[in-house]
Structure 1
């Protein structure tokens, strides 16, 4: 069963740093993951989502945590 429909189409939040960082500070994906996202299948995308959610270091997740504290 797919849980991708519960998530946005992409982890991107429009704060891209992959020109300067190996891992995007905005979404938590590697430059390779960002560039290949449209070519990934559902399992590959789920694996990326799971990893970046588990790490929780990207701005995407710090914003969500701050919103939850309000």
Structure 2
């Protein structure tokens, strides 16, 4: 059985870290809690975050 999830990097981080105005990173779109807990999340939890942030137009790279 083939995995139906898209191929993605291990993390949404794009090294543009900023949560100056709220609890959401301006680079990857994750909340502070999601960034802190990323390595402890299950694959399903990570997939849910990926779906949300990509729907919101993240991750964003400078340029």
TM-score (norm 1): 0.73
> Per chain length, whose mean CA-contact separation is higher, i.e. which structure has more relative contact order (CA < 8 Å, sep 6+)?
2
Separation (CA, whole Å) in 2 of partners of 1:37 and 1:57: 16
The aligned counterpart of 1:17 is: 18
Aligned residue number for residue 66 of structure 1? none
Return the structure number with greater helix share: 1
| TM-superposed deviation, 1:57 | 5.0
- Give the conservation status (yes or no) of the 8 Å contact 1:24–1:30: yes
> Does the Cα contact within 8 Å between 2:17 and 2:27 map onto a contact in 1?
yes
Kindly report the root-mean-square deviation, in angstroms, between the aligned alpha carbons of the 2 structures.
2.1
The number of residues matched between the two structures is 60
Runs of 4+ in structure 1 over 6 Å off: none
Which stretches in structure 2 are left out of the alignment for 5+ residues? none
- TM-score with structure 2 setting the length: 0.80
